Structures are given as C-alpha cells and as structure tokens.
Amino acid sequence: MQIQVNGEPLELADNATISVLVTQMILEGQRYAIEINEEIISRSHHDTYCLSDGDQVEIVQAIGGG
C-alpha cells in the first residue's frame, strides 16, 4: 500500500501498523507524535492501529534545546 508521510509517498506492506511505520522510520526511543488523516493517534494504539492505502500521516518530532 502507499501512504503519504509528511507529504512524501511511502510504500508499506498491507495492514502495516503505526509501530511498523515507526520502526521503518527509525523513531524508536525518540519523542514524536503521529497524526493520521488529521487525527492524533495515542501511543497506546500504535501496535493495533492498521494503516490504510492513501492515509495521510504527519509525524512531528520533539526537539530539545535551550
């Protein structure tokens, strides 16, 4: 299936979860928020939320600084 991540096309296996996307994007251990089709998905649902062909995904990473 094909999704859009931050405006860029990305190919994923059918029925991939958000956790699969996080692994593919190498985001484990980082601070981030994920929005799918303009809805923020809590981390507690990342293992079970299946992405669909054509989903619009926005990933925002927290950057520390001072």
The domains located in the chain, with CATH, are: 2-61 (3.10.20.30)
Mean pLDDT per 10-residue interval, the chain, length 66 residues: 98 96 93 96 96 98 76
Question: Can you give the pLDDT at residue 64?
Answer: 73
Question: Can you give the pLDDT at residue 9?
Answer: 98
Q: Are 49 and 56 in contact (CB under 8 A)?
A: no
Question: Can you give the pLDDT at residue 18?
Answer: 97
* Amino acid residing at 47: D
CA distance 66 to 3: 35
